[in-house]
Amino acid sequence: MSMAKSDSRRAETPPPPPEPLAVPVPDSHTHLDIVGGDPAADIEAARKVGIDRLVQVGVDLDSSRWAAELAAAQPAVLAAVALHPNEAPRLADLDSELRAIEDLAGQSRVRGIGETGLDYFRTGEDGRAAQEHSFRAHIAIAKRFGKALVIHDRDAHADVLRVLDEEGSPDTVVLHCFSGDRAFATECVRRGYVLSFAGTVTFKNAANLRDAALVTPPDQMMVETDAPYLTPMPYRGRPNAPYLVPLTVRSLAETTGRDLDELCAAISTTTERVFGGWAPGK
C-alpha cells in the first residue's frame, strides 16, 4: 500500500471516543447533515461521552429545514437556521430565501438565527454587498423573534462589529468558532457577546485563540465542534463529530487553569441561557 493511500484511509477513519466528561456539556454548533450517516447514532455516541445536547445549524434553506425537522424529532437537538454568508452572493433571489428563513425562525425548537455574518476569506469584494445585506436581514430576524444571533466571522472582525453597531445587536450574540485574538475577544466580552470555541483552540499554531480564551469569562463561553470540520488535536485532519467535544473542553480547562467539572457546568449553563432548555416545552 502506498503512503498516499494509507494517509487517505487514516483521514477517513473516525478518531476513538475520548474519556467521558463527568459533567455533561452541549455541542453548541454542529452540522450532522454534513457529517453524514445516522444522526441518531451520532447523538448517542456524543451522549456516551458526556455531550448530551446539540445545536444543529443550517447554512442554506435546505439544511435549515433539515435542522428544524431534526430538532422537532430529537429531544437532544435544537436548531439554528440561516443563509451562510458565502451563500448570499450566489442566490438568484436572496430576499425570497431570507423570507423562507424567517418562516422557519418562529418554530419553537429553532433557537438560533445563524450561521450568518461576514466571510472575507472565501468571498471577494464583488460579493460583500450581498453578504452585508443578508447579515443585516438575519439580525432583524433574530431581534424580531427573540432568538440568539449566531455569527460566522472570517477575516471580517471590524465589519462584523460595525454592522452590529449600526443595526443594534440582538439581546444574545454568539461568535461561532471564535477566530480572533485577545484584543478582539476583550471587545466582544465587553459588549456581552458569547464566544464559542471549536477544535481550533487545540491547534499548535493557535496561541491567539488560547489567549482569547484567557479573557473570556465562563458565563460568556461555549464549546462546539463545527463538525465535520476542525477536528481537535491530536486528530486534526480526521472526521469530526460531536463526541469529540471533550477534547476541546479539556484543552480549554488546561489553558485557562479552571477546574474541568466547574468549567463544564459553567459552559452548560451559558449554553442553556443562550438557546433555552432542550426539554420539550422549554
- Enumerate the known binding-site residues: 29, 31, 115, 152, 176, 226
Per the annotation, binding residues for a divalent metal cation are: 29, 31, 115, 152, 176, 226
SS (H, E, C) the chain: CCHHHHHHHHHHCCCCCCCCCCCCEEEEEECHHHHCCCHHHHHHHHHHCCEEEEEEECCCHHHHHHHHHHHHHCCCEEEEECCCCCCHHHCCCHHHHHHHHHHHHCCCCEEEEEEEEEECCCCCHHHHHHHHHHHHHHHHHHHHHCCEEEEEEECCHHHHHHHHHHHCCCCCEEECCCCCCHHHHHHHHHCCCEEEECHHHHCCCCHHHHHHHHCCCHHHEEECCCCCCCCCCCCCCCCCCHHHHHHHHHHHHHHHCCCHHHHHHHHHHHHHHHHCCCCCCC
